[in-house]
Amino acid sequence: MSKISVSVVGASGFAGGELLRLLLFHPHVEIKQVTSERHYGKFVHKVHPNLRKICNLKFTGIGELEECDVLFLCLPHGEAQKQIDRFTSLAQRIIDLSGDFRLNDAQSYKRWYGHPHTRPELLSEFVYGIPELYRSKMSRARFVSSAGCNATATILALYPLYKEGIAQRNSTVTEVKVGSSEGGNKVSEASHHPIRHGCVRSFKPTGHRHLAEMEQELSFGESVTIHFSATSIEMVRGVLATSHVFLNRDLQEKDIWKIYRKYYGNEPFIRIVKERDGNYRYPEPKLVTGTNYCDIGFELDAQTGRLVVMSAIDNLMKGAAGQAVQAFNIMHGFAETTALEFPGLHPI
């Protein structure tokens, strides 16, 4: 079986580097070109040192892109929209890791991103990039728009509860604890080590952009509001989303187990983590570092009807590159875990 030729556009960022790490070990992939304007002509391992001795590719310029089977786009916000026609002329399939084509609805895009979408007619061409929600559509799709990291963690935690209709729609409060790699590799005052180290920084108490995707995927036709906040902590990779869901009926722990088993029992990348003893009783971000897992746990407060759901991912893996490769595997009919087998490290 001949290999799939793949190019990565904008590969000098953290997500682009993680994508390369995975694709270099994918048995059915041949990496053709890797672009970065800033690092044009440099060895890829200069920017991604974990690829030393593994990859001798050099960055080329976006202007020199040639035809290939699949293009992964890891461009800054707005760039994919601008150059989409060129990309679709170069490749049969496109997986975009940016936010450009995540939303189905142009109005919602304008509301959340503050400026109108430049190619609204293409929005419906892109399948939203969470395989656990859109596996069959993805298997027939030409374009996939990878989901945001905080959105992925929150949506996967809440999806079964909202689909079954057991949650009070507009009462859920979710707070994500996140690491510094979510900000990408652009340096700033705020990410300067003596300032960033040891922070418990409430950087987005309200109005986080990923909210748009959450409300889109959890609405099932009726508008829904998720009360979302984000706090960055002393971590590089990792998201822990803690969601407070107020149930609209009396349920027991066993009912919750049944619902999660119904939706995720056969999912290769979702583990239900809820244990009575041991050092890791609920999902723990460091345990999924480098893996494509989303661990989900919960605890039910029967008196108040509050269900606390915890979900942990690696924002660069299930929240970006890993999920993009999972979508790639589905689009090509490969085993979904191909190149995504790394089990994570302990202790770490």
Partner 1 sequence: MNQNVTCPVCDAVFEVAENVELNELLTCPDCGSELEVVNLKPLEVAEAPQEEEDWGE
In the list partner 1, its own copies, none, the entry touching 151 (Cβ below 5 to 8 angstroms by class) is none
Cβ distance to partner 1 smaller for residue 199 or 272: 272
Cβ distance to its own copies smaller for residue 52 or 86: 52
Q: How far apart are the C-alpha atoms of 154 and 175, rounded to whole Å?
A: 9
- Nearest distance, CB of residue 33 and partner 1, angstroms: 18
**AA identity, residue 19:** L
Q: How far apart are the C-alpha atoms of 317 and 325, rounded to whole Å?
A: 9
Q: Which of 63, 194, 221, 278 binds its own copies (CB under 8 A)?
A: 278
In the list its own copies, partner 1, none, the entry touching 140 (Cβ below 5 to 8 angstroms by class) is none
> Which residue, among 209, 233, 235, 98, has the nearest Cα to 150 in the 3D structure?
209
Cβ distance to partner 1 smaller for residue 63 or 278: 278
**∠13-15-21 over CA atoms, to 5°?**
105
Does 277 help bind partner 1 (rule: CB under 8 A)? yes
> Which residue, among 119, 340, 289, 320, has the nearest Cα to 210 in the 3D structure?
320
- Rounded to a whole number of angstroms, the CA Rg of the chain reads 20
Distance, CA of 25 to chain centre: 20
- Nearest distance, CB of residue 26 and partner 1, angstroms: 24
Q: How far apart are the C-alpha atoms of 156 and 163, rounded to whole Å?
A: 11
For residues 298 and 322, the answer to whether their CB atoms sit within 8 Å is: no
In the list its own copies, partner 1, none, the entry touching 14 (Cβ below 5 to 8 angstroms by class) is its own copies
| Residues binding partner 1 (CB under 8 A) | 42-43, 46, 56, 253-254, 257-258, 261, 272, 274-279, 281
| Residues binding its own copies (CB under 8 A) | 14, 17-18, 21, 24-25, 46, 48-54, 181, 185, 236-237, 271, 273, 275, 278-280, 284, 287, 289-290, 316, 341-348
